[in-house]
Amino acid sequence: MRVLRRGDAGPDVAEIRSILAAMDLLPPVTDSGEYGVFDTSVEHAVRAFQQRRGLIIDGLVGPATYQALKGASFHLGSRPLQYMLSSPVHGDDVFTLQERLTELGFDSGRPDGYFGPQTERALKTFQRDMRLASDGICGPATIRELHRLSSPRARGGRPVFLREQEQVRQAGPRLRGKRIVIDPGHGGDDLGVIAGGLREADIAWDLARRLEGRMKATGMEALISRGPNQSPTELERARFANEAGADLFLSLHNDGNPSPKAQGVASFHFGTGNGTTSTVGELLAGFIQRELAARTGLLDCRTHYKTWEIFTRTRCPAVRVEIGYLTNPDDSGKLADPAFRDVVAEGILVAVKRLYLLGEGDQPTGTFTFADVLAHELAKAE
């Protein structure tokens, strides 16, 4: 689809306006001449929607925002839901179903709004336990049972995220044997942000190789999601991590902004803003953010939850780090220095170590070194 922006007009814009109005983000159109026009009010409404959904807030309706808008037009019960291999069903109704099944103790996996095989298995188990036809189709009878069990007393927590925490605890403090997928952003013909003589794809690749070397030195199994001349989609990157059985997924990027004053480092993890969050992803994002802010002198732009596809489709805890703005002279000057990129790689490695230490023998932020990590690994091996 074409990207819709302020000034565009036509039936595609009319569809967007209709969805936003149904969500009370736009008032009903009284002038028929305005119905298919992407004006300032539509842009503001799109930005508000993007903020609610953890999307990039740019006021543009591209593929990710359009898919989220279309999904928001469905509520649980508005259509039958079932698993379709060729074209997975997606929408808010699927997300609500996944949340409801999870709260009732049926493992539908991470709530991502996609009706996949794990959601189908959880639904069939629920139907069987409720003595319904166990056909994996969420129709009227299944909806009635879900509504009947809507009492808060019937809720059983979010086991998918509790399992994440338990897996980290059981994995122990040593890094040896843990499998990490390092995901350098962009690549191939997609160079990402280009500014100050630097290209985001090249910086991300270099950081990934530096981090890979340090991780392998500790005994970790570090895998890079792409080659130097490849540019897989977010879904392909997530699939790579899932098929590898990764314990963690780390995506490395740099940022850019029309204003040269924009600067700093920010970290992102899966979360919806309504209490659904990857607890391990959030914890790791916090460790990475604090380590990099303390070690690099980059402005601390904090951690944020997002519903990007790289988070919703990756089964392990995932974090994306935006390491400086190439459009900012100070940040780009630092990133151009190989020694600075070594500092970044060490900070990320230490953050991963701190995640698995769970407070055991930990040290203040910014003081734990690569040599300390290696010494701790050797001590634990004895």
Tell me the pLDDT tens digit for each residue of 203-217.
999 999 999 999 999
Answer for the pair 214, 180: CB distance below 8 angstroms, yes or no. Answer: no
User: What pLDDT, on a 0 to 100 scale, did the predictor assign at position 268?
Assistant: 95
Dihedral in degrees, nearest 10, Cα atoms 187, 191, 195, 199: 30
Q: Does the pLDDT of residue 154 top 50, yes or no?
A: no
Q: What is the pLDDT of residues 104-126, one digit of tens each?
A: 878 887 788 899 999 999 999 99
Instruction: With residue 281 as reference, give the H or E element that holds it.
Output: helix 279-296
Q: Which neighbouring-strand residues pair with 149? A: none
Q: Does the pLDDT of residue 348 top 80, yes or no?
A: yes
Q: Running DSSP on this structure, what letter comes out for residue 62?
A: -
Decide which of 52 and 130 is more confident. Answer: 130
Cβ neighbours around 248 below 10 Å, total: 23
User: What pLDDT, on a 0 to 100 scale, did the predictor assign at position 155?
Assistant: 42
Q: Cα dist. 48→57, 140, 308 in Å?
A: 8, 33, 16
Q: What share of the chain is helix, strand, coil (3-state, %, to 5)?
A: 45, 15, 40
Q: Give me the sign of the Cα torsion angle 161, 166, 169, 175.
A: negative
Tokens of 81: 């839901």
Q: If pLDDT is split at 50, 70 and 90, which confidence band does 359 have?
A: low
Average pLDDT score over residue span 343-353: 96
Percentage of residues of the chain with pLDDT beyond 90: 64
- Name the residue type at position 66: Y
User: What pLDDT, on a 0 to 100 scale, did the predictor assign at position 158?
Assistant: 58
User: What pLDDT, on a 0 to 100 scale, did the predictor assign at position 376?
Assistant: 85
User: Quick one: 202 exposed, middle or buried, by C-beta within 10 A (0-12, 13-18, 19+)?
Assistant: middle
Helix (H, G, I), strand (E, B) or coil at 224: strand
Q: What is the pLDDT of residues 38-55, one digit of tens each?
A: 999 999 999 989 888 878
Q: If pLDDT is split at 50, 70 and 90, which confidence band does 361 have?
A: low
Q: Running DSSP on this structure, what letter comes out for residue 262?
A: -
Average pLDDT score over residue span 70-82: 93
Q: Does the pLDDT of residue 150 top 80, yes or no?
A: no
Tokens of 375: 């010494």
Q: What is the pTM of this model?
A: 0.76
Q: If pLDDT is split at 50, 70 and 90, which confidence band does 173 have?
A: confident
Cβ neighbours around 324 below 10 Å, total: 30
Residue count of the chain? 382
Q: Residue 280, Cα to own-chain centre: how many angstroms? A: 12
Average pLDDT score over residue span 226-245: 95
Provide φ and ψ at 211, rounded to 5°: -70, -40
Percentage of residues of the chain with pLDDT beyond 70: 92
User: What pLDDT, on a 0 to 100 scale, did the predictor assign at position 275?
Assistant: 65
Q: Pick from 341, 339, 333, 330: which is nearest to 321 by CA?
A: 341
Helix (H, G, I), strand (E, B) or coil at 270: strand
- Close Cβ partners of 66 (under 8 Å, ≥ 6 residues apart): 1, 4, 16
Helix (H, G, I), strand (E, B) or coil at 67: helix
Q: Pick from 351, 189, 188, 182: which is nearest to 265 by CA?
A: 351
In terms of DSSP H, where are the helices of 218-271? Answer: 234-244
Answer for the pair 113, 312: CB distance below 8 angstroms, yes or no. Answer: yes
Q: Does the pLDDT of residue 157 top 60, yes or no?
A: no
Q: Does the pLDDT of residue 11 top 50, yes or no?
A: yes
Q: How far apart are CA 249 and CA 201, in angstroms?
A: 18
| Average pLDDT for the chain | 89
Q: How far apart are CA 322 and CA 333, in angstroms?
A: 16
Answer for the pair 49, 69: CB distance below 8 angstroms, yes or no. Answer: yes
